[in-house]
């Protein structure tokens, strides 16, 4: 079936396909993966209990710890000789999470990625500069294979050596940039320092940004500075890599490819399945994977899902941009704070530069400090009053978060920059062993 037919099929038909694939998946996992057989038995459920889509909630969740406990290849449904590739996501603690692909999996993933690129408007005429990392991280190779599948010209630049990247983007006339949103901003910052105006000296028209949470205000900033349309793309290694969902030209949420995934939203505390439109943790079941299928995988990512048809005619469910990860959420004096809320406020204030750092500490009470870089333009204009900017940021953060925030302004280019995923949170409470 053509992509377009799949993307616009009636929901009843889509759900019939999901149901059929779900039944097949459950039998497959039970027969091929001892881990799932045991998990099913522990939860008193058998493949025959799954007859309809609604029966999905009878199945237990799979969590990241299950993957860690079965490190490296204990979750495989196929013999190692069927595996043609592995990827891994860097664990902040302990062993990485390893994922594996058969030849069919690579083919399937490349098709999904090609579909994502086309959905946002990429065509064979485009030259795509891929500045996601190539290697164990899925970003680089995911975009690479998807781009080739669609027939784009792919420039496999990977991360690092930003000045060289800028030269290549300009000289090759790249029309698409694929990298993390924080790296996109960094590229534009370095290009400006090199005397270029990236919005006119580059030919970029589209950008595919993901792999880390970002905000609407960051989108605006990237679009203005690079002169392109910034598309949000979501995925995770355990599900394939990039390619689980993407925005279409209407940018009204990210289309989740439901012929390949069943999505649920749950309350992260209780595990209860929430109604359409309610905010909670995304849970995915993979319907097409061979080497390492996953049933009800808890992503920890917080979002909202709607099944309303999109203006573009696609019927597949849409998720709002990821608001943050439930394990990134900071609890400060009892208040839940997502780092993305802080970013949203900062990026909307004139005078704020490209980078910031969130520091949480506890003396008697929790203390939230946000270190904020000033923009070069603001800093170099001697008429500007630093104290007024600091006060403005503090007031806006206080009112957005509902807690007191201390702001420290930093000179331009003094806070860390990131080529891959940004690390902007320092929780000193963890280092002090408070929790
Ligand atoms: O980051 C895959 C990817 C590569 C997605 C390139 C998009 C572009 P992991 O390293 O396993 O895989 O990290 C997955 O990154 O659970 C989210 O928390 C976060 N993430 C990914 N895309 C987005 C996004 C890749 N568009 C984790 N917005 C996920 C917010 C995202 N967070």
CA nearest to 409, candidates 383, 385, 429, 426: 385
User: Quick one: pLDDT band at residue 335, thresholds 50, 70, 90?
Assistant: confident
Does 388 lie in the same domain as 342?
A: yes
Q: Is 211 near ligand 1, meaning CB less than 6 Å away? A: yes
Does 310 lie in the same domain as 180?
A: yes
pLDDT at 77 exceeding the cut of 60: yes
The rounded Å distance from CA 211 to ligand 1 centre is 3
Residue 179: predicted pLDDT: 97
Q: Is 213 near ligand 1, meaning CB less than 6 Å away? A: yes
In a domain, 139, yes or no: yes
Range of the domain at 421: 330-431
Token pair for residue 348? 């909307």
Q: Is 379 near ligand 1, meaning CB less than 6 Å away? A: no
Q: Which residues of 357-388 are buried (b: 16+ CB within 10 A; e: fewer)?
A: bbbbbeeeebbbbbbbbbbbebbeeeeeeeee
Q: What is the mean pLDDT of residues 185-192?
A: 95
CATH code (residue 182): 3.40.50.12780
Residue 84: predicted pLDDT: 98
Residue 91: predicted pLDDT: 62
CATH code (residue 414): 3.30.300.30
Number of domains in the chain: 2
The rounded Å distance from CA 118 to ligand 1 centre is 19
Q: What is the mean pLDDT of residues 99-112?
A: 98
11 neighbors 315 (Cβ within 8 angstroms): yes
pLDDT at 434 exceeding the cut of 80: no
Residue 121: predicted pLDDT: 97
- pLDDT cut 90: percent of the chain above it: 88
More confident residue, 363 or 151: 151
In a domain, 325, yes or no: no
Does 82 lie in the same domain as 32?
A: yes
Residue nearest to atom 20 of ligand 1 (CA): 211
pLDDT at 92 exceeding the cut of 80: no
Which range is least confidently modeled, 37-41, 330-334, 359-363? 330-334
User: Of 166-175, 323-332, 357-366, 418-427, where does the model show the most confidence?
Assistant: 166-175
In a domain, 276, yes or no: yes
Residue 312: predicted pLDDT: 97
In a domain, 336, yes or no: yes
Token pair for residue 46? 């058998």
Residue nearest to atom 9 of ligand 1 (CA): 236
Q: Is 281 near ligand 1, meaning CB less than 6 Å away? A: no
Q: Is 301 near ligand 1, meaning CB less than 6 Å away? A: yes
Please give the number of the atom of ligand 1 that sits closest to the Cα of 208.
8
Going by C-beta distance under 8 Å and a sequence separation of 6 or more, which residues neighbour residue 225?
185, 188, 189, 192, 198, 199
Q: What is the mean pLDDT of residues 317-335?
A: 89
pLDDT at 90 exceeding the cut of 80: no
- Domain boundary, last residue among 272, 287, 320: 320
Does 52 lie in the same domain as 182?
A: yes
- Domain boundary, last residue among 293, 320, 347: 320
Q: What is the mean pLDDT of residues 301-326?
A: 95
Distances in whole angstroms, Cα of residue 414 to Cα of each of 86, 221, 300, 411:
37, 20, 32, 6
In a domain, 108, yes or no: yes
| R_g (Cα) of the chain, nearest Å | 22
Best of 236, 247, 284 to mutate for ligand 1, by most ligand atoms within 8 A of CB?
236
Distances in whole angstroms, Cα of residue 170 to Cα of each of 138, 196, 204, 375:
26, 10, 9, 24
First vs last C-alpha separation in the chain? 52
16-35 pLDDT tens trace: 999 999 999 999 999 999 99
- Domain boundary, last residue among 292, 320, 348: 320
Quote the CA–CA distance of 247 and 152 in Å, as a whole number: 19
Going by C-beta distance under 8 Å and a sequence separation of 6 or more, which residues neighbour residue 391?
none
236-260 pLDDT tens trace: 999 999 999 999 999 999 999 999 9
Per-chain mean pLDDT for the chain:
95
Which range is least confidently modeled, 57-66, 89-98, 120-129? 89-98
Number of H-type helices and E-type strands within the chain: 14, 21
Locate all alpha helices (DSSP H) within 162-231, ordered by sequence.
162-172, 181-193, 198-201, 216-226
The dihedral region occupied by 292, where left means phi > 0, alpha psi between -120 and 50, and beta the remainder, is beta
User: Quick one: pLDDT band at residue 93, thresholds 50, 70, 90?
Assistant: low
């Amino acid at each position: 079936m053509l992509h377009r037919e799949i993307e616009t099929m009636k929901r009843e038909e889509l759900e019939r396909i999901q149901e059929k694939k779900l039944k097949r998946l459950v039998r497959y996992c039970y027969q091929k993966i001892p881990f799932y057989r045991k998990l099913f038995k522990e939860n008193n459920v058998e493949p025959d209990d799954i007859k309809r889509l609604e029966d999905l909630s009878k199945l237990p969740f799979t969590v990241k710890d299950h993957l860690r406990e079965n490190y490296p290849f204990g979750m495989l449904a196929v013999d190692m000789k069927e595996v043609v590739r592995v990827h891994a996501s860097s664990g902040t603690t302990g062993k990485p999470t390893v994922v594996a692909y058969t030849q069919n999996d690579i083919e399937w993933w490349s098709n999904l990625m090609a579909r994502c690129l086309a959905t946002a408007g990429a065509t064979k005429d485009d030259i795509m500069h891929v500045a996601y990392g190539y290697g164990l991280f899925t970003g680089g190779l995911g975009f690479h294979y998807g781009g080739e599948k669609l027939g784009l010209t792919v420039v496999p630049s990977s991360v690092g050596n930003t000045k060289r990247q800028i030269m290549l983007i300009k000289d090759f006339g790249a029309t698409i940039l694929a990298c993390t949103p924080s790296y996109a901003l960094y590229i534009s910052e370095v290009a400006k320092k090199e005397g270029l105006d990236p919005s006119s000296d580059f030919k970029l028209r589209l950008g595919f940004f993901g792999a880390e949470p970002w905000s609407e205000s960051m989108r605006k900033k990237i679009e203005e500075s690079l002169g392109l349309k910034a598309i949000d793309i979501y995925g995770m290694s355990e599900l394939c890599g990039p390619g689980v969902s993407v925005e279409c030209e209407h940018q009204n949420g990210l289309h989740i490819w439901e012929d390949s995934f069943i999505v649920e939203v749950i309350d992260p505390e209780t595990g209860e399945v929430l109604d359409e439109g309610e905010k909670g943790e995304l849970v995915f079941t993979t319907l097409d994977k061979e080497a390492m299928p996953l049933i009800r995988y808890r992503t920890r990512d917080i979002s909202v899902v709607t099944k309303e048809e999109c203006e573009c005619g696609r019927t597949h469910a849409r998720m709002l941009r990821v608001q943050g990860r439930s394990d990134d959420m900071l609890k400060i004096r009892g208040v839940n704070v997502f780092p993305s809320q802080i970013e949203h406020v900062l990026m909307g204030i004139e005078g704020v530069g490209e980078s910031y750092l969130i520091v949480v500490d506890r003396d008697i009470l929790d203390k939230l400090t946000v270190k904020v870089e000033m923009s070069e333009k603001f800093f170099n204009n001697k008429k500007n009053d630093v104290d007024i900017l600091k006060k403005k940021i503090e007031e806006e953060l206080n009112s957005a978060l509902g807690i007191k925030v201390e702001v420290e302004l930093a000179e331009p280019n003094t806070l860390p920059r990131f080529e891959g995923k940004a690390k902007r949170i320092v929780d000193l409470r963890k280092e002090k062993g408070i929790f």
